[in-house]
Amino acid sequence: MTTAEFGKAVRRWRDRVSPETAGLPAGGHRRAAGLRREELAMLAGISVDYVTRLEQGRASNPSAQVVEALARALRLSGTERIHLFRLAGLAPPGPESVPAHLTPSVQRMLDRLTGTPVAVYDATWTLLTANPPYTALMGDPSGWRGNQRNGVWRNFFAPGGPVRHTPQSRRDLETALVADLRTAAAQYPADQRLRRLVTELRTHSDRFAELWDSGAVGRHEATRKTIDHPLVGTLMLDCDVLTVAGSDLRIMIYTAEPGTPDAERLALLTVLGTQSLVG
């Protein structure tokens, strides 16, 4: 890896991305038009210290997941993304890998949904990006690392969270997640990260192993979810999952019925989420 060149490239591309372009408030006096390090760190889901060390050439060998997250946060083109992988000494992901690149059209859609909680996952339910309203609603994922960013892993090993489940809804969700992961494993058999994830889940979760070995079949349906939020109380929201044809991205969107107390609480959360970014 050419650490100095990698850092220079990240800094150069960070300087050209305005906060408005990245869906962030400009907020206060800025010495430059581009993203601040803490903003890039938040968008990429890595620490500010790590971004600093990368830019200064003091950190080497970033993982493919980190490089992909930086490429996404910096809104790199396909050619630029490949270049960043090569600067990191990594082979760019090929067609045998689970797609993790946000297409320009998906990014534009996220840019327009500034008042709606939206998160984008890959085919393995690994979180790629979440907008400020989603973070305000579901919690800040910026500190999650490795398997913590995977929704299947979190549901089997860290099933807390603000969504209220009945025993049946929990079973339905687990079955759908396992079925989705099985489909991804069949479609991307050479993806090493996916193979490791399945192995770890089968080894450490009896429930996952039971569902996996039984060939459980399920699918995600549009659902109405109850969310217990510590700041605004209980919300009843519609949750839809859209699949992007050709890239296997999953877009999760939460909405409230207009004119209801739930819509008012969701609007308040959106404001709170924006304020937390400015602060």
Q: Is residue 195 part of a domain?
A: yes
Q: Sheet harboring 118-121: ordered strands across?
A: 127-130, 118-121, 249-255, 233-244, 223-229, 163-164
Q: Which pLDDT value is given to residue 273?
A: 67
Residue 53 shares a structural domain with residue 183: no
Residue 58 and residue 19 in one domain = yes
pLDDT in tens, 106-122: 888 888 888 899 999 99
Query: Is residue 269 domain-shared with residue 186, that is, in the same domain?
Result: yes
Give the CA radius of gyration of the chain: 19
Q: Classify residue 154: in a domain, yes or no.
A: yes
Last residue of a domain, one of 87, 119, 138: 87
* pTM for the whole structure: 0.80
With a CB cutoff of 8 Å and minimum separation 6, the contacts of 202 are: 208, 209, 212
pLDDT per residue over 207-231, tens digit each?
999 999 998 777 777 889 999 999 8
Q: Report the domain count for the chain.
A: 2
What's the pLDDT score for residue 241?
Answer: 93
Domain with 62 in it = 3-87
- 94 lies in a domain? no
Domain at 83, CATH number:
1.10.260.40
Nearest-10 crossing angle of helices 78-87, 64-73:
140
Q: Say yes or no: 209 and 244 in one domain.
A: yes
Q: Rounded to an integer, what distance in angstroms lies between the CA atom of residue 66 and that of residue 46?
A: 8
For 126, phi then psi, to 5°, come to: -90, 130
Residue 98 lies in a domain: no
Angle at Cα 235 formed by Cα 252 and Cα 129, nearest 5°? Answer: 25
103 phi, psi to nearest 5 deg:
-70, 155
Question: CB-based contacts of 275: which residues, under 8 Å, 6+ apart?
Answer: none
Residues with Cβ within 8 Å of residue 120, at least 6 apart in sequence: 102, 106, 110, 127, 128, 129, 130, 249, 250, 251, 252
Average pLDDT on 11-15 reads 94
When pLDDT is averaged across residues 34-61 and rounded to a whole number, the result is 89
pLDDT at position 125: 95
Q: Does the residue 99 lie in any domain?
A: no
Residues 68 and 118 placed together within one structural domain of the fold:
no
Residue 43 confidence (pLDDT) above 70: yes
- Would 128 be classed as within a structural domain? yes
- What mean pLDDT is predicted for residues 67-96? 88
